[in-house]
Amino acid sequence: MPENPPELLQQAVSVLAMNDQGNYTQPAHHLYPHQWLWDSCFIAIGLRHLDLERAKTEVLSLRRGQWHNGMLPNIIFRDDREYRTDRNMWRSWLNPYAPSNITTTGITQPPMLAEATVRIGEGLSPPERRLWYGMMYPTLVDYHQWMYNERDPHQEGLVLQIHPWETGLDNTPPWIAELHDHLMPLWIRLIEKWRLDWLINLFRRDTKSIPMDQRFSAIESLAMFSIQLRLRRKAFDIDRILDHALFSIEDLNFNCILIRANTQLREIAKLLHADLPPGLEKRMKQTEKALESLWDPETAQYYSRDFITHRLLKTPSVATLLPLYAGTISKERAAHLVNLIENKHHFGALFPVPSVPVDSDWFHPKLYWQGPTWVNINWLIIDGLKRYGFDEQAEKLKKKTIEVVKKSGFYEYFDPLTGEPAGANHFSWTAALAIDLLNQ
């Protein structure tokens, strides 16, 4: 690619090398030292162009965190003494299904593992691919079954999430709006009222290296912590959690990624001549159908939904575009989403795609998942656009994504209006997915 100097590729390679921990890659030095689930999947998608064996290791290392009930946790903690507090905050050992030799969280993250498995598989010879799929198949089947068993208890097709971190889009407006409206404990409301957030900020690790106005607020972080405590009190036992289901959402981003992951899982099973466990195929089909119940004809957008009441959470966010990645909506719907991407009042910013449409009251160009452009979301959208045959739009978005990285560096996220960098520098998935886009 002549207009992209080889230096960009070289720089991306050195970001990954810098964050390489041997069997996994940390998302960013200092800020994110552990292994994150969907990060490792995105990272493997880039690593496969450099070293297929290392990409496999990245993905295989996620298996050490898998719970005996099939759950893959969003974080596998390092065991250094330095990170005792992180491990203690979660105490995964409270749940009998947690692995005994390693500490993890008690929640998951969007299921990107099937995608990473297939992408690595693409680079292998047919016999090697079969071997590789054979290694990953049990992990994937257990994980997908866990999602349906535990997270779709009414068998309605959509899987629910119990913590904002499970969506991967931590402080995305639909979830934060719900938190503010329904779930802010009194002690947090008082801290907010008495403006004591400065006190909380003194103890934060993230804002030591990142400007405060680029991270979630102290109140949001306390709210997330309070949900975490609640889950921990119930030892991450889903029956006990749902018994008093105060906060469970069928998240749009998560379910779209699940639909795509199911398609990939089918492909893997087919190549292995394996039959998916009885009932799983039916549940997978149900999810595709259920996605349509997240469409709101009035505003012509997709939304996440409250698990109990089935109320759509009509606060706009980039998740509305993710059905493109799911790949099961009609071509007309897809074309409508493409219009939203191109519309200057919605997602058509100079450096797209903003995580919140620019005309939303929630839009803040540098604030984490409340406005900035993220490379992983662009990657998902580009992939969806291509599968729907919107090649020109996919190419344009790819160029814009590479441009912003070239202009500003391998940052965690970018201001969609100016392209300025924000969040952590030397961020692994930005580097890995840039490598993948440069190789497409």
Could you identify the residue written with the tokens 């803040």? 364
Provide the residue type at 352 as one letter.
P
User: Exactly one of 24, 36, 132, 146 binds ligand GLC (CB under 6 A); which one?
Assistant: 36
Which of residues 47 and 268 has its CB atom nearest to ligand GLC in the complex? 47
Q: For residues 168 and 416, which CB has a smaller minimum distance to ligand GLC in the complex?
A: 168
In the three-class reduction of DSSP (H, G, I as helix; E, B as strand; rest coil), residue 438 is classed as helix
Element (H, E) at 414: strand 413-414
Residues with Cβ < 8 Å from 54, sequence gap 6 or more? Answer: 47
Site size for ligand GLC (CB under 6 A): 7
Contact between residue 305 and residue 292 where contact means Cβ atoms under 8 Å apart: no
Q: Name beta bridge partners: 249.
A: 161, 306
Q: Which is nearer to ligand GLC, 38 or 143 (CB)?
A: 38
CB 112 within 8 A of CB 257: yes
Residues with a catalytic annotation lie at: 170, 412
- What DSSP element (H or E) covers 335? helix 331-342
**Cβ at position 411, least distance to ligand GLC in Å:** 12
Angle at 85 between CA 82 and CA 89, to 5 degrees: 150
By C-beta, is 172 or 393 nearer to ligand GLC?
A: 172
Backbone phi, psi, residue 373, to 5°: -90, 135
Q: Angle of helix 391-408 relative to helix 331-342, nearest 10 degrees? A: 40
Within 10 angstroms of residue 95's Cβ, the number of other Cβ atoms is 20
Q: How far apart are alpha carbons 352 and 375 in whole angstroms?
A: 10
Least Cβ distance, residue 43 to ligand GLC (angstroms): 10
Q: How near is the Cβ of 37 to ligand GLC at its closest, in Å?
A: 7
27 binds ligand GLC per the rule CB under 6 A: yes
For the bound state, the minimum distance from the C-beta of residue 170 to ligand GLC, rounded and expressed in Å, comes to 4
**CB 26, min distance to ligand GLC, A:** 9
Does residue 288 bind ligand GLC (CB under 6 A)? no
- Residue 32 as a binder of ligand GLC (CB under 6 A): the answer is yes
CA angle 155–118–440, rounded 5-degree value: 125
Q: Interaction with ligand GLC in 165-194: which residues (CB under 6 A)?
A: 168, 170
Choosing from 9, 39, 43, 351, the residue that interacts with ligand GLC (CB under 6 A) is 39
Q: How far is the CB of 59 from ligand GLC (least distance, A)?
A: 15
- The backbone region for 368, taken as left when phi is positive above 0, alpha when psi lies in -120 to 50, beta otherwise, is left
Q: Which of residues 133-172 bind ligand GLC (CB under 6 A)?
A: 168, 170
Candidate residues 13, 24, 38, 146; the one interacting with ligand GLC per rule CB under 6 A: 38
DSSP string over 60-77? HGGGGG--TTS---SEE-
Identity of the residue, 170 or 178, whose beta carbon is nearer to ligand GLC in the bound complex: 170
Give the shortest CB-358-to-ligand GLC separation in angstroms. 20
Residue nearest to ligand GLC (CB): 27
Pick the closer one to ligand GLC by CB: 38 or 302. 38
Decide: helix, strand or coil at residue 343: coil
Window of 35-43, 175-183, 305-313, 333-341 that interacts with ligand GLC by CB under 6 A: 35-43
CA distance 412 to 406: 13
> Helix, strand or coil for residue 161?
strand
- The region of 33-41, 92-100, 172-180, 289-297 touching ligand GLC under the rule CB under 6 A is 33-41
Nearer to ligand GLC, 157 or 168 (CB): 168
Positions touching ligand GLC (CB under 6 A) are: 27, 32, 36, 38-39, 168, 170
